[in-house]
Structures are given as C-alpha cells and as structure tokens.
Amino acid sequence: MPICKAHWLGQLFNHPYLAVEATAEGPVLHIRREQHALGWKELLTPPVLERGRLFRQLVLNCRQGQLVCAWLPNTKAGVLQQQLAQGWFEYHAARVVPLAERCLALLEQGYLRHSRWQQLQQWLVQEPVQWGTLTLPEELSERVRAAFELVATLQQADDHWRKQCLQEHCEQALIEYKTLFDTLEEHPLTQAQRLACVTDEDHNLVLAGAGCGKTSVMAARTAFLLASHQAEPHELLLLAFGNEAAAEMRERLARRPENTGVQVSTFHALGMTIITQATGQAPVLSPLAQNEQEKQRTFARWLAQLAEDENYGIQLLAWLRQHRFQTVPAPDYARLAREWTPLVAALKVYGEPDDILPGQGEQLALVKPLLLRYQQHLRDAGYIDFDDMIEQATELVRSGRFAVPWQHILVDEFQDISRSRAELLLALRNAASVLSLFCVGDDWQAIYRFSGADVSLTTDFSGFFGATAMTALDTTFRFNNVIERVASRFVTRNPQQLPKELSTLNRTEGPCVHVLPVADDESMDMVARLLGQIAAQRSGASVYLLSRFRFSLPDDDLLEGWRKRFAGLTLHAQTLHGAKGKEADCVIMLGLARGRYGFPPEKKQASLLDMLLPAEEDFPYAEERRLFYVGLTRAREQVFLLADRQIPSPFVKELLEGGYSGVSRWQG
C-alpha cells in the first residue's frame, strides 16, 4: 500500500505525523521512530479530506477522539482518502450485506406485519452506523452499494413509511388478483371485501355488518391465500362455533377443487385434535356434555339426592319459597336443573364471583354441591367436558407440546367468542411466529353473553391480541336503505359499539319499519291479518315470526294452519337468538311489551348468573339492544313490530318518539 508523506514543513511546526499509510486492516500513522495502526473498527466514519491553502489534511474520527493528519500533498492525499474510504466501507460491508439480505428476505415475505416491522427495527437498532448520512464511494460493487442503500432507507423509515408499504402491497395485490375477486362469487366482491382478503396483519379483524357477506369473505380469503401461494391447503384452518356452521363452510369450500386439504373445524373438534396429538391419546368426552337433556335429567337426580340431606333440603326449600314462591313440599327438580345447569357451567369456568348479594350467596351455596357432584362424576369416569377440552388444549399449546401446523387461522362469527376460546387462539398465535389470525364478526350482533361470549374481545380486539388491522365491510346485500338507517341508528345509541357505515344495494322510499299497537290477546289475530296482506301484495314472499321468548310465538298447530291458509308464503317462527344468520322478505316481531318477560326483560337486580358471566356493559340493556337490531336486520323489505298497546316495549317507544326516519305507526 502506498504511503502519503507529510511535507517537511510540518516538522518545523511540530506536526506529529510524518506519513499516513493505507493498509488492508486500516490506516497506519507514522510518527517519529514508531507507527500507530488504526483498525477499521476504530474509525467511526470514513476518513474526510479537508482542503488547505497549499496542502490537505486527513481527518480521522476515532472512538478515542479526532485525529488530524496535515501537510499532505494534494494529489497523493486524494488517492489516499479514496483508498481508505473504500477499505472502510468494504470492512463494514462484511456486516451490512448480510444484514441487508436478512431485511430483504423479510420484506419479500409480503405484507409488512407489525411483527416483521418489529424484527426489522430490532436488527437495525443494533447497526452502529447511520448510513443515510454518508456518501458511498463510486468504487463499491453494485451489490454492496445496494445493501448500504437498503439499510440506510430502513434506518430512516418510520410508521408513515410502513403504512405506505402496506398500501402499495394491497394495491398491487388487488390489481394482480382482480380476476379472482371478480369471479369467485356470483357477483364481484366489493372493494371492502377485497381489501379484507389481501390485508395480512398478525391479527386481522373484519367487521362484517348484517348481510355484508362474511361467508363470502371467509371463502375469498382462503382462495386468495392459496392463489397467491402464501399458504398450502394444509396450512389453513377455518374455525366455526357449531357443527352446522362448519358443515356450511366445508360445503362452500368444496365448490373449488384447490381447497382440498383445507381444514375446517369447530373449536371443540380443534381441542380434541390438539389433546390427541399432544398426548397420543384421545380424551373421552362425557356423554352429558353431548346431550343437554340427559345432563339436565342427571342434574335433577343429583339435586333430589342432595335434598335428602336434611340441612341441604331445608335450605333449598327456604330459597324456593323466597325466590320462586314455591310452597309445595317436593321441589320441581327438573325445572331447577334447567335453571341451574348454566350456573354450574359458569361457576366451573369462571369460579366464584368476588362480590355477591345475600340472596345470591344462598343460591351459590346450593349450586356449589351440584358442581362438586358433576366434577366428581367427570373424575370418576375419566371424562372431560367441552370446557375442560378447551382449557387442556390451551395449556398443551402454551407448554410447547403441540406443534402448530397452520400459518393462517380464520375464525367465523368472532363476536360470539368466549375468553377461554380467545385464550386458545392467542396461545396458538404465540406458539407460531408466522401465524396470522383472521377473525370475521360483528359487535353489533353480539347476543350470546348468556353462553359465555364476551363482546369486549371484539370491541377491544387489539387490546387482547396486539397489533391489529381492522377492515369494515360497508355494503349490505340483504336489507334496504330505510331498514339500514333505522337499525344502525338504533344499535349505535350505545357508544361502545364500533362505528361503521353501511351502504345498501337495495333502495326504497317511505317507511319500512311499522309499529302495530295490539292487545296481548289480539297478537295472533293481527299476525293472521298481516300474513293475509303480505300474501295479497306479494305471492311467494318469505316471512319470519320472531320473538324474544318462545312463548310469544304461535304454537305448532297454529303455525301449520297459517302455512296451509297462506300457501304462497314461506313461513317460519323462531326466537331472535335462533334466527341469527337467517333472513326473510318480511319480519313480524312479537312479544314487544315492558316487564320481566318483555323486550328488553326487566330485572330488579343482577342474577347470580350475571355475576358469573363476563361483565355486562355500562350502557343499559346493551345486549338486548343488539338482539333487537338482529331482529330488524333479518328483513329484506319490511319489518312489523307488534307492540303491547298498554305497556309497549321501551325499544318500540324509542323508535316512535325518537324521530327515527323510516318508522311508521301502522294503520293496517
């Protein structure tokens, strides 16, 4: 390597450095009768050449401070600086090039998820040099130069830069897979549905309003992941809550042969799979868990046995007299078992509540022995129930005994999820860094708190799971603009509901939600009149009779009679909870009164079951309001609300007195 000697005038001014030499290991400074070698790692920046009047000086920014080598001839100093700069960059290239390659490989995985973004930042924060502030030598190879430029860009990248990357990724995917999204369904997917399919955050929440095509999005997301080669069929898991929903999903996927191998499961079947694979032995599910009626009969028998104990029997009769006004010596154990079966399940899952009222404490003392009998039964027989299955599966995943084979888990009807099932999803997500959750639901239709569903897992989705991309499906294919306007305003009176705006394909003018004041004993006559008018106006229409409680519905004989009388109509009757997911041209809602068994059902105080279940929301009758919304949105064209003339439902009064455009008082 050449040596650049300082001019002899430098010695007259006591300049310590006689020469600077460029070596493969770094610059060497020649001092009187000795040499001082500087390794590349000691230089914080590449050497800088500063111009003087007659000579130049080389500035070396070292860890121990700045060194200045002056009195260097112009020509040789320039060559020296280029050699040193080249050597310095090539030294760091040995570290920067692999770093850039790791970063590039991660970026090429596709959507820049939050976890990937964090990984990038973790790598880059360990890089000691800010490359964006330095000028690269021309002599660097194209590969090395590209590596420095990529790292420099990433070091300066912020959240805005990441958002731009996400937007560009989605835009490109929408263009590339336009034909797929155009042809998957009978009608092309909406823009919001397409965006939901290509968004691929670690956790994805798709808010699918009533009639917005959530099933289409589940199927389209599956098709997109396979078509874009982001996953193989066996790396996809679609989860549903019930066997019927899972069967419907399988049928939907079976229409496309490329979906062969995609796993569709219920949460319970998933729990069974995890336990079996992790332990090598399939758990034995209690017959009581699979037959609710048999479970209630067994609980009734156990209650009768418990009552044979004098102390328990006296306490039970005292509680029944006070709270059920039952004075006969023999309690109705079958009825009691029906009422207390949900209490036993909730107590088993959630444990005893912290604060309960005296009356609740007495009931709790009576229910706990029934729970102990049930738990002893499971232990003695070597059984587990569905709650045990989810809990055990979650622990097996957390302990690492189950190797998660999926890269994408898609969850339908997420608003119905319980905390235990959400914990299982979180455990699966934490056990597999590449796993992405895709959850479709609607907090406006969260109506199953009584079975353990926790709506806060939807409204505070990111608080539970972490970084989340939320997409709202904004077009409903079911009901018209008038029903949408009434229903959306009604449900969003609760400020805790996640905001979204729905547009409709079907538009009409004039009221479509009609209130019919009736006396209690006139309800069925009014239903018959309405059915006659509907049949006369539109032959072949479908009609749903819905109510909060089953006793408000017509009995089977009356319903069958109407079907024969109005043969052109398709007529069904169901409770509002059972009608979720269904639709009809017209909906007739019954039982709209005020009171304990009205809509909403009035309660003097929280029941013991309320204390055991997930916390209720602060907004009055929040879940009942959502249930009423579900009823309104089952109708494609018209809703008829049969309200008690003397004590109408507060919900109906709100519609009539709250200035709701699209609501009328029906004149018949």
Spans of all domains in the chain? 1-110+124-155, 165-285+387-476, 287-383, 481-665
pLDDT of residue 58: 75
What's the pLDDT score for residue 4? 58
210 annotated as a binding-site residue: yes
> So what's the pLDDT on residue 232?
94
Q: Where are the alpha helices (DSSP H) in 280-410?
A: 287-290, 292-307, 310-323, 333-350, 358-381, 386-398
Q: Are 227 and 196 in contact (CB under 8 A)?
A: no
Classify domain 1-110+124-155 by CATH number. 2.30.29
Contacts of residue 630, defined as CB under 8 A and 6 or more positions apart, other chains included, come to 210, 445, 447, 576, 579, 580
Rounded to the nearest 5 percent, the helix, strand and coil shares of the chain are 50, 20, 30
**Phi-psi region for residue 283, left (φ > 0), alpha (ψ -120 to 50) or beta?**
beta
pLDDT for 36: 77
Report the C-alpha gap between 446 and 413 in whole angstroms.
Answer: 9
Query: What is the model's pLDDT at position 77?
Result: 73
Cα angle 101-106-108, degrees, rounded to a multiple of 5: 95
Residue 208 marked as a ligand binder: yes
The answer to whether 51 and 108 have CB atoms below 8 angstroms apart is no
- Residue 209 assigned to a binding site: yes
476-499 burial string, b = 16+ CB within 10 Å, else e? bbbbbbbbbbbbbebbbebeebbe
CA distances from 304 to 367, 489, 609, 636 (A): 13, 50, 22, 49
What whole-number distance in Å separates Cα of residue 510 and Cα of residue 631? 20
Candidates 628, 621, 666; CA nearest to 487 is 628
Tell me, what's the pLDDT at 7? 57
Nearest to 277 by CA among 124, 397, 366: 397
pLDDT given at position 16: 66
Q: Is 211 annotated as a binding residue?
A: yes
Instruction: Give dist(CA 168, CA 526) in Å, integer.
Output: 57
Pairing of strands 584-592, 542-547: parallel
Q: Is 147 annotated as a binding residue?
A: no
Q: Rounded to the nearest 10 degrees, what angle do helices 419-431 and 267-279 cross at?
A: 50
Give φ, ψ of 511 to 5 degrees: -65, 145
Report the alpha-carbon distance of residue 531 to residue 569 in Å, rounded. 8
Looking at residue 9, its pLDDT comes to 57
Cα–Cα dist 301/60, whole Å: 90
pLDDT at position 572: 96
| Nearest of 505, 504, 470, 473 to residue 487 by alpha carbon | 504
Length of the chain: 668
Query: Is 105 annotated in some ligand binding site?
Result: no
pLDDT at 52: 65
Count of other CB atoms within 10 angstroms of residue 258 = 12
Domains 165-285+387-476 and 481-665 share a fold: yes
Q: How far apart are CA 181 and CA 166, in angstroms?
A: 19
Count helices and strands (H / E) in the chain: 25, 21
Instruction: Copy the structure tokens of residue 491.
Output: 């449900």
3 state DSSP class of 346? helix
Angstrom distance (rounded) from CA 113 to CA 434: 10
Per-10-residue mean pLDDT, the chain, length 668 = 62 61 79 80 85 74 79 74 86 94 94 96 93 89 94 95 96 96 91 96 94 92 95 95 90 89 94 96 93 94 92 89 73 90 92 81 92 95 94 96 96 95 97 95 94 94 96 92 95 93 89 92 92 91 95 94 93 93 94 93 82 89 96 96 94 94 81
> Which of these CATH numbers, 3.30.300.30, 3.40.50.2300, 3.40.50.300, 3.20.20.80, describes 481-665?
3.40.50.300
C-beta of residue 90 within 8 angstroms of C-beta of residue 108: no
Rounded CA separation 275/267 (Å) = 12
Q: Report the distance separating Cα 179 and Cα 190, nearest Å.
A: 13
b (16+ CB within 10 A) / e for 21-38: bbbeebbbbbeeeeeeeb
CA distance 91 to 638: 76
Contact 414, 181 (CB under 8 A): no
Quick one: 165-285+387-476 is in which CATH superfamily? P-loop containing nucleotide triphosphate hydrolases (3.40.50.300)
Beta-sheet pairing, 3-5 with 17-23: antiparallel
Q: How far apart are CA 564 and CA 574, in angstroms?
A: 19
Say if CB 447 and CB 626 are below 8 A apart.
yes
C-alpha to C-alpha distance for 447 and 200, rounded to whole angstroms: 28
CA gap 240, 385 in Å, rounded: 18
Position 84 scores a pLDDT of 83
Structure tokens at 463: 């608080």
- From the list 129, 136, 144, the residue with the least C-alpha distance to 94 is 144
